[in-house]
């Protein structure tokens, strides 16, 4: 299993670049960022600095959307970065949330998302794409390679992902929900005549290392509770569309009953006052909190489900220490088979 990190482009940009460099030093393979140009600084500019300051990490948004960025410009940006730094970019994309809602817009429909994926991926891989009746191509990008991974929760979004995406991004680490979404994506891929295993699986969630004490666990939960509020904001659309009694797992939908709206000025921020409705049980299920052994247990459980990458949301007060703890106490053990000592503890 690869490890990624998800950063916000909060000023100063130099700090974002530094965290990316530290992540690579500790063995992380991917550096993702939020993509909300009103809330934080412009990520695509920062990607060039991250790539210049590192040797191997792959960079990209978690996630961009089809509405606030022209598809051809998105593809050109990644293809240009690939030409400058080697093929070290990836495009995570979804219907759109904070980037569009802060402009008073709505998430794109799935037909638009599907069309944008085709255009971005074809152009980003040096091939021709069709926009209306026009066929276009970057004549200088024949060596560019750009995987496109799709984020989603709802049944139709998961089906689309299996049908057309190179990878699937699930923004929570609950194994039961992961099992359901992965199975849905793979079934859709198989129906579309694709190899289900060709779709890479990424689970992304906050991770917080604790010392095993009750006080440490309580603090970690408060630092990560914002994530349940963010997920709930996404899930609210699913409940509105499918209702509370749909095939979507209850663990993903029931907890938002106490939700009272959402303030994007606190999006992805520890201490988010609009996350008070999120119970401890959801924080524990959606995030990865505890000692290094606890983290290793959860990651191995996800790996058993077919997860190829775990991406750590780093929006809390222990950014550097989390990267260090993963590099020293989690990643080395994750890379090796389970030992007899570990199975007996």
Q: How far apart are CA 34 and CA 173, in angstroms?
A: 18
Looking at residue 256, its pLDDT comes to: 75
Q: What is the pLDDT of residues 227-259, one digit of tens each?
A: 988 887 667 777 767 665 567 887 787 777 666
183 three-class SS:
helix
For residue 316, what is the DSSP state? S
Looking at residue 344, its pLDDT comes to: 42
Instruction: Compute φ and ψ for 192, nearest 5 degrees.
Output: -85, 5
Q: Which residues pair with 39 in a beta bridge?
A: none
Q: Concatenated DSSP letters for 211-266?
A: -SSHHHHHHHHHHHHHHHHHHHHHHHHHHHHH-TTSSS-HHHHGGGGG-----GGG
39 three-class SS:
coil
Looking at residue 285, its pLDDT comes to: 94
Provide the Cα torsion 40, 45, 51, 54; round to 10°: -50
Q: In the structure encoding, which two tokens stand for residue 41, read together?
A: 């600084």
Instruction: Compute φ and ψ for 268, nearest 5 degrees.
Output: 65, 25
Looking at residue 336, its pLDDT comes to: 75
**pLDDT < 70 regions, the chain:** 233-234, 240, 242-246, 257-269, 271-274, 337-345
For residue 275, what is the DSSP state? G
27 three-class SS:
coil
Beta strands in 11-162 (DSSP E): 30-33, 58-61, 91-93, 129-131, 134-136, 148-151
Q: Which residues pair with 64 in a beta bridge?
A: 93
Provide the Cα torsion 245, 249, 251, 253; round to 10°: -50
Looking at residue 273, its pLDDT comes to: 63
Looking at residue 259, its pLDDT comes to: 62
CB 52 within 8 A of CB 85: yes
């Amino acid at each position: 299993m690869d490890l990624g990190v998800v950063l916000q482009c909060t000023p100063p940009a130099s700090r974002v670049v530094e965290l990316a460099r530290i992540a690579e030093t500790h063995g992380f393979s991917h550096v993702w960022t939020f993509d909300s140009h009103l809330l934080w600084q412009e990520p695509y500019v920062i990607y060039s600095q991250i790539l210049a300051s590192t040797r191997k990490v792959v960079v990209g948004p978690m996630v961009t959307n089809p509405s606030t960025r022209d598809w051809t410009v998105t593809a050109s940006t990644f293809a240009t970065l690939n030409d400058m730094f080697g093929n070290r970019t990836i495009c995570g994309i979804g219907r759109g949330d904070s980037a569009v809602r802060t402009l008073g817009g709505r998430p794109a429909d799935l037909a638009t998302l599907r069309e944008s994926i085709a255009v971005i991926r074809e152009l980003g891989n040096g091939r021709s794409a069709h926009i209306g009746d026009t066929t276009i191509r970057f004549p200088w990008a024949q060596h560019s390679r750009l995987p496109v991974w799709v984020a989603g929760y709802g049944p139709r979004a998961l089906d689309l992902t299996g049908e057309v995406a190179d990878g699937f991004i699930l923004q929570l680490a609950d194994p039961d929900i992961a099992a359901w979404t992965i199975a849905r994506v793979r079934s859709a891929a198989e129906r579309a005549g694709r190899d289900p295993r060709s779709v890479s699986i990424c689970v992304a969630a906050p991770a917080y290392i604790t010392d095993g004490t009750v006080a440490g666990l309580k603090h970690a939960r408060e630092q990560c509770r914002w994530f349940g509020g963010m997920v709930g904001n996404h899930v609210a659309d699913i409940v509105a569309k499918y209702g509370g009694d749909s095939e979507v797992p209850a663990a993903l939908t029931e907890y938002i009953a106490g939700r009272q709206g959402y303030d994007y000025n606190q999006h992805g921020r520890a201490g988010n006052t609009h996350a008070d409705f999120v119970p401890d049980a959801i924080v524990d299920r959606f995030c990865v909190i505890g000692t290094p052994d606890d983290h290793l247990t959860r990651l191995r459980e996800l790996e058993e489900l077919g997860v190829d990458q775990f991406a750590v949301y780093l929006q809390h007060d222990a950014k550097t220490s989390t990267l260090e703890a993963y590099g020293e106490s989690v990643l080395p053990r994750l890379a090796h088979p389970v030992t007899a000592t570990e199975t007996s503890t």
